Amino acid sequence: MAGEYRCTGTLRSTHLDIIATHGFTLNILLDLSHNAHFETVSEGRPHNPVMAKPIELDCQLARGNAPDYAAFLAACRAERVSSPLYHFSRHMMAEARAANITEEQHFENTITQRTIKIEFPQFNDTIAAVNMLVEGTAAGDAVMAATTEDMDDFDALPQRVRESMGMYQRTSATSFTRTAGGDRTERTAYRG
């Protein structure tokens, strides 16, 4: 899932609180589909490499119960400049100006029509404690595959580890479930 917005800054649980307090939800997917250091290929698709990319979050912001658009955007604007929510509000502001409507109206129009896809390349352990995921679990194996630095070491990983790469739904900072669909085939390092 590619994001409509890529927000810089570290996503923290306090940001989730701001989102929930103002009547919105954030569906969090941990993207373990890529190796951070080199391209990989799926079995049966040797000429279609998957790009190298660090672990990140692919999220969907949606309306919850009684959303307060203006208060949410005001809370985002009040965040530090380094906050990903501050950056999200800047995206909304720029698009609203281009459409010649208020930021609140643009945000409401957008989120009423669909969920808003946001990528967060940085997050802390309160969101996803990737270093605490246990080897032998699907998510723990996927983290191992996504962070292995050497191609030969990657190819030497057990098949189940190389098959575990994919998207994982967050239930807590240390609990993730693999999403349906996606490529569940064995990966190898792409050697061009």
Q: Would residue 160 count as lying in a domain? A: yes
Q: Quickly count: other Cβ atoms within 10 Å of residue 92's Cβ.
A: 24
Q: What six digits make up the tokens of 133?
A: 């995921």
Is residue 105 assigned to a domain? no
Measured CA angle at 45 (ends 39, 50), to 5 deg: 25
Contact indicator for 164, 190 with CB cutoff of 8 Å: no
Q: What is the pLDDT of residue 36?
A: 97
Does residue 25 form part of some domain?
Answer: yes
In a domain, 168, yes or no: yes
What whole-number distance in Å separates Cα of residue 51 and Cα of residue 105?
A: 37
Q: Is 158 within the bounds of a domain?
A: yes
Instruction: Give a three-class secondary structure readout of the chain.
Output: CCCCEECCCEECHHHHHHHHHCCEEEEEEEEECCCCCCCEEECCEEEEEECCCCCEEEEEEEECCCCCHHHHHHHHHCCCCCCHHHHHHHHHHHHHHHHCCCHHHHHHHHHHHCCEEEEECEECCCCCCHHHCCECEHHHHHHHHHHCCCHHHHHHCCHHHHHCCEEEEEEECCEEEECCCCCCCCEEECCC
Q: So what's the pLDDT on residue 188?
A: 92
Q: What is the pLDDT of residue 144?
A: 97
With respect to residue 28, please indicate whether it lies within any of the assigned structural domains. Answer: yes
> How many domains are there within the chain?
1
Closest CA to 32 of 153, 171, 161, 155: 161
Tokens encoding 102: 């208020």
Tell me, yes or no, whether 85 lies in a domain. no
Q: What is the mean pLDDT of each run of 10 residues along the chain (192 residues)?
A: 82 97 97 96 84 96 94 97 96 95 95 95 96 91 97 96 95 93 82 85
Query: Containing domain of residue 145, as a range?
Result: 5-65+115-174
- Answer yes or no: is 179 within a domain: no
**Would you state the pLDDT for residue 182?**
65
Report the Cα 149 to chain-centroid distance in Å: 21
Residue 88: per-residue pLDDT = 96
Q: Quick one: pLDDT at residue 172?
A: 95
